[in-house]
Structure 1
């Protein structure tokens, strides 16, 4: 086994035991990144920074070393990294190199992590297939025919890099499923924490009441380790919760006897592939065999979640993206003689924003406009409150976690959906958006392969602030499923 194929937990033990140096581990990842160019996962490689950080980690080894000392990670291009291009995969931020570090990357570096570079993603995190990026498509390392498959989105580069062993773990962000859907499509683990558990400071905003950063890893244990380093209160983020961060790894006891697992009847969708239905049934059996009690629950407002999400998220996006005007940073259009400031705004945004971002900004501006605000945005906010209440009632009735499919299908081919009806693409988020609307933690765990040989995941949804319990349930599911398949190397 090459060093880059290790999990974070395995690498941590090998580093602590002196069997491996951080420089050797980092070099193995940098070599894999070079070979992995066809995946288009890493878009800004930072080998010099990585090797400097690895040498510092080797010098620091011992009792004072952080939880991630010497662990090489990939960072989604949405996180501001000091002196390193942070473009959110958009031409409008071309050339932008922040003078500051996001809170999440600061915390990771304090824990001793090594940054290998920045990862591909959908532009401003708007997409479910990583096809809206200014860097071009990220490609799923799983391949079963002559097609190039999507790694999912928006954290497609993160998912592809982890699944292909280009890094040991990666950061992602999740606004409507952007950690969990790509994790399911690539056979890895991805957790979206409770809203407010991880600081949003220094992360380029898409929809501020929905965005949440989280880890994408090769195992549930790795997710627990990485989340522990990322989480915590941040006074710079007014939505960050001042709640102690438990030891997530210590919570992985593997004991869920007597726990109640809810199965929402509304997630049995018309036209759901038989393989997804069978996988879900298998997940229920595995948790029951581990001693959990399986109970049917109702989340009646689930059917309104997608329309509510696709009103609220674009509304917040149109507000957040108003700051990209060509004045302060990033791209500015060339102006003709006689052009005024309004012409500059219009030309800059037309050149800088891609089609999907333009579509969502226009939807958002429309639903916030006078005469439509109450009909769309206010109504969507009320539906959101009802969706949250559905979950609150289920948890109040004693449910500890909720089991659902993660995605409505396995990974599809690049180009198969992007140019078709955009609503068909939005349906990819059908199982994940409720979690963001309700501010809950959710995790995707790889559980099996479909008939074509592509990975499928199941989603577990937890109580607010109970990532520890959620990770333990996921750990049990992971162990029972025994998913060890990896993509065959073709790149």
Structure 2
């Protein structure tokens, strides 16, 4: 009987290839066929790489034929957010500024996925330079939510989330500076994880906020995300990234352990925050009951300085973005304005015409915040707030193992529905503080909302470098929501895309 790639988890694909049920080339071709059939509606990709994908798949098949030991994710297709370098592709950051930039090296995170046997099928769309929560700020085209293509997939890693939700790939990489993995994962109904800061190398990833950015995986199941984390961290500290740390754990080892007797923190103020919709609140409350039914104890915790998180983020983030993007001046890197009288004019006009509105807005804000007389007033205050928020989380974890909260205040909204940038920034209410503190967080799909019929989700947040424990709770939550008849998680591929391309012989 025919199978479709969108019905298979990454773990199932790897096991099937190892057992000879199908070849890596068949899986890669099925993924490419699914992309061809679904991209007109979803537009998750900026570049599809069939030659790279099939060549990588053939190497897996050759290794199997030779009797060699296959790596753990051998033959599993994956998508790469387009701020991560891969030789043989362009790395555009969804910006005209880098429209023609050809990668001259491969990011460590991408290389480690390749070393684990994964097959690269393309570069996923994103908000320009990762500035946004919708993927609408891409200079090339918006990405659409597979559950309702009139709605946004979230951002900035919206292309990666949508590609998994549409069944085009079982795994994808994204980056998360203020929620850019967890928020689109929630809106698209997939699992998305931001590891602890430093757990995954950022070498080869175009920087937004260097003290906030972290690379992480999207998957259909918690197990798939755990397998990806093993790939991303298994080789240890990256000497090319000074913030990289060793994470000497197997993220799958205790994944199915019971959570009986463990403690889950609840923040009452978060559950009453303005903007949290009733169906999102109900979903998180249902998640809390499920964890309690499995023997976990719910305890109230307080983060007294949480109100300062968004303000601190929108000082630190733009300041670091202004510094990081200064190199794209039309002289050393990026779009080059033709026929300019001098270098000053060329740099000014190249930046004016190469960057989009949101990229300009954040860089101008960063320039102002770092200017003389302003720096002391705002930037120092933001860093002090960061210290207090980090201490709040550390204090909370003295009372609990993980904290449960919403991933997003609402389900996916329509393209163009939110036009005020400040209102858009508030969409990151539940994710930003985790980047400020540097902790890990994972968004787990909980099914469809009763009011909207769109994916709802909850977020689990753990102490720094306790990401394995966090995934154990995420797996418990997923286990409680699994369809007992089929063994499928709460959400699979969006129904409109099931069966459209991607057939395996």
TM-score range, shorter chain: over 0.9
| Alignment correspondent of 1:192 | 194
Pick one of 247, 250, 253 that aligns with 1:250. 253
Give, in angstroms, the shift of residue 270 of structure 1. 2.7
> What TM-score comes out, normalization by structure 2 length?
0.94
Taking the aligned partners of 2:358 and 2:7, their CA distance within structure 1 comes to: 35
Quick check: 1:266–1:300 contact (8 Å CA) kept in 2? no
Moved over 4 A (4+): none
Secondary structure at 2:187's aligned position in 1? helix
Secondary structure at 1:474's aligned position in 2? helix
After superposition, the C-alpha distances for 1:425-460 in whole angstroms (9 at most, x for unaligned) are 101100000000000000000012112210011000
| Alignment correspondent of 1:104 | 109
Give, in angstroms, the shift of residue 83 of structure 1. 2.6
User: For this pair of structures, how many residues does the alignment match?
Assistant: 482
| Alignment correspondent of 1:119 | 124
Pick one of 291, 294, 304 that aligns with 1:290. 294
| Alignment correspondent of 2:503 | none
Secondary structure at 1:281's aligned position in 2? helix
Taking the aligned partners of 2:491 and 2:429, their CA distance within structure 1 comes to: 27
| Alignment correspondent of 2:342 | 340
| Alignment correspondent of 1:464 | 464
| Alignment correspondent of 1:153 | 155
Give, in angstroms, the shift of residue 271 of structure 1. 4.2
Taking the aligned partners of 2:263 and 2:215, their CA distance within structure 1 comes to: 27
Bigger drift between 326-335 and 402-411 goes to 326-335
Pick one of 240, 247, 252 that aligns with 2:244. 240
Quick check: 1:405–1:459 contact (8 Å CA) kept in 2? yes
After superposition, the C-alpha distances for 1:109-136 in whole angstroms (9 at most, x for unaligned) are 1111110010000000110000110121
After superposition, the C-alpha distances for 1:369-417 in whole angstroms (9 at most, x for unaligned) are 000001111101100110000001111x231000001100000011111
Give, in angstroms, the shift of residue 485 of structure 1. 5.0
Quick check: 1:266–1:303 contact (8 Å CA) kept in 2? no
Give, in angstroms, the shift of residue 63 of structure 1. 5.1
1:266-285 superposed matches below 5 A: 266-268=269-271, 269-285=273-289
Note if 1:408 corresponds to 2:409: yes
Give, in angstroms, the shift of residue 43 of structure 1. 1.1
Secondary structure at 2:496's aligned position in 1? coil
| Alignment correspondent of 1:72 | 77
Taking the aligned partners of 1:19 and 1:264, their CA distance within structure 2 comes to: 47
Taking the aligned partners of 1:264 and 1:63, their CA distance within structure 2 comes to: 50
Taking the aligned partners of 2:416 and 2:279, their CA distance within structure 1 comes to: 23
Taking the aligned partners of 2:338 and 2:269, their CA distance within structure 1 comes to: 52
Note if 1:437 corresponds to 2:419: no
Bigger drift between 243-252 and 304-313 goes to 243-252
Taking the aligned partners of 1:47 and 1:209, their CA distance within structure 2 comes to: 35
| Alignment correspondent of 1:321 | 325
After superposition, the C-alpha distances for 1:167-202 in whole angstroms (9 at most, x for unaligned) are 111000000000000000011000000000000000
Taking the aligned partners of 1:262 and 1:8, their CA distance within structure 2 comes to: 31
Bigger drift between 222-231 and 475-484 goes to 475-484
Note if 1:260 corresponds to 2:243: no
> What TM-score comes out, normalization by structure 1 length?
0.96
| Alignment correspondent of 1:484 | 491
Taking the aligned partners of 2:16 and 2:286, their CA distance within structure 1 comes to: 35
Note if 1:311 corresponds to 2:315: yes
1:323–1:392 CA distance, 2 compared to 1 (3 A): same
Taking the aligned partners of 2:19 and 2:157, their CA distance within structure 1 comes to: 33
What is the alpha-carbon root mean square deviation over aligned residues? 1.2
Taking the aligned partners of 1:488 and 1:168, their CA distance within structure 2 comes to: 16
1:360-379 superposed matches below 5 A: 360-379=362-381
Give, in angstroms, the shift of residue 328 of structure 1. 2.3
Secondary structure at 2:132's aligned position in 1? coil
Give, in angstroms, the shift of residue 204 of structure 1. 0.4
Give, in angstroms, the shift of residue 488 of structure 1. 2.1
